[in-house]
Amino acid sequence: MPHNQDPEQWREYHVTPRYLAGSTYTAGPALRPLVNLGWKLTRDELGNVYVASPDHTVRVGYLPEGEDATLWKITAYFDPFAMPRWLVTFQNSTPTEIVAGFTTALAAAYTDGPDSYLYYGNDTLADLDVGTPLAAAGWSHRYGTTDVSFHSPDGLAEVHLRRHPLDHHAEMTGHQERWLMHAGPPGDRWYATASSFTPEGLVAAMNTALTDPAPVIRYGYGLDRLPPQATATPVKPPVPTPLDVRRAQAANARTTVPPPASARPVIPAPPPPSTPQVPRPGHSR
């Protein structure tokens, strides 16, 4: 049976933890929250996809044919013609659901206004508050001389917060980052970054999406790309409820067509009963 007709290849699996599930290499789930706001979507001749807010203060690039391993670049601007205010990136193996968690929060922040998606408190305590989703998920943390690091219980995911001064130009060109998250077994890790001035709520959304315990859906054809530490469980088909059964029975009854008249046996009608002749009085035969 050809690959694309093999039912097992398209069987759905629940994969946990989600940070080991890998990318689906589809842009739709992460771009949908922004396109639903009316943001303009364009494509180039290579297959890269770009989405921009109506005022061009936020831009999102899905770059499968980009110059490096960065699949997603997201920037925000005070002035559309100036250097970006902040930059967030996701490497090409980042689980799509984590990117979608960020863009969903970005769509909500843009709807709230510039205070939510452009401004940043630039407060050390606010930085630590952004790590609350990690602590709530049971991640450990360590204070270093120049950073704070968070580690997942299985040791396969980390988030680092740089606390020393950084050069803004170096951050906007991808050579430095305020936040760095990466996950996966040694030698096969994906990474994501967030620069200084990325609003606390958006960074918190990244961390929340990273630690979400809910499984994500992957298909049979991609299971060989999962690391051995990931767990894949077949998704069971839904069990029909009694109401589902009654509806199905009613639907079958409505679609039952009686056989055509030509196919029914013809039974002749019985002859009418004969009436005996009774002689009339005074009449002879």
Alpha-carbon separation of residue 176 from 16, 126, 159, 192 (angstroms)? 30, 20, 15, 12
Cα–Cα nearest to 233, from 248, 216, 246:
216
pLDDT band with cut points at 50, 70 and 90 for residue 192: very high
* pTM of the predicted protein model: 0.80
Tens digits of residue pLDDT in 204-238: 999 999 999 999 999 999 999 999 999 999 998 77
Q: Which residue has the tokens 């409505």?
A: 254
150 contacts 131 by C-beta, under 8 angstroms: yes
Count CA atoms within 13 Å of residue 253 on its CB side. 6
φ, ψ dihedrals at 247, nearest 5°? -65, -40
**What is the side-by-side order of every strand in the sheet holding 216-219?**
216-219, 12-16, 231-234
CA 68/CA 176 separation, integer angstroms: 16
Tens digits of residue pLDDT in 73-124: 999 999 989 999 999 999 999 999 999 999 999 999 999 999 999 986 554 4
Q: Range with the lowest mean pLDDT among 39-53, 127-141, 178-192, 269-283?
A: 269-283
